[in-house]
Amino acid sequence: MRKQAGHSSFKQLLAEGKPQVGTFVKIFSAEIIELLGMAGFDFIVIDMEHTTLSFAQVEQMVRVADLHGMSSMVRIPDASRSSVLRALDLGATGIQVPQLLDEGEVRDVVDKAKYPPDGTRGVTYAHRAAGFGHTPKNYLAQANEQTTIAIHIETESAYEKVDAICQTAGVDIAFIGPVDLGISLGKGPDYLHGELAHPVRRILAVCQKRGVQAGIAVANEEQYRFAIENRIPYIVWSSDVALFKTAVDGVANVTALRENV
């Protein structure tokens, strides 16, 4: 892992296939983001889908990530115009969109995320992404070029239509959500040794064929090695909550020895 600076470098490194390692951040804490940056994480995915985080909080989290050289993706709570617009206006590197079903929904997200003439994103320069009015003359074109869009492949419908989704202009990353995808397909979450292995490899093959970068969630070294060996550049290792839980459980297991004293 290594620190990044700027949205364009993140997108370019992904396009070059260089592994970028991040984690889902669910807790509103500047300290947690600072710790991740100091540890050398490349990016964070701020999770608004499964938390109560507000956009005001997310803006502060993005600001801390920027200060520590990390890129910041926002997993928005839904694909509404408001959610797409707010996440990008507050200065995030890009958006990660869950629970989409087909290429039509994906095309709609891209349209909302891009300024004219590439889309219909509303324009103002009085927000953080545009420097609060200290705006480069080429801001609109630059934002369209640099914004990173990751689409979850985690529903049965999205899996069946993954080829069409990956052919949608503006999609940068097809992100494999193993838990949701496994449940949706009735195959369980194990994509290394279980029944989900074949669907995951099919998604990776489609990504390679269509020139879209693959992303995947990992939770251990074996899964991480799988991602590296399969040239998956967008790697999300667990979450801040899960990492903290692992550490706390480790301490609890040790201190449980006092019962035998």
Residue numbers annotated as active site: 50
Residue 219 burial by CB count (10 A; 0-12/13-18/19+): exposed, middle or buried? middle
Per-residue tokens: 49: 């889908």
Q: Whole-angstrom Cα distance, residue 92 to residue 63?
A: 9
Query: Could you tell me the two tokens for 228?
Result: 């590296």
Q: How far apart are CA 179 and CA 211, in angstroms?
A: 25
* 153: β partners: 176
Angle (nearest 5°) at CA 252 between 249 and 256: 140
CA distance 184 to 81: 26
The rounded radius of gyration (Å) of the Cα atoms in the chain is 19
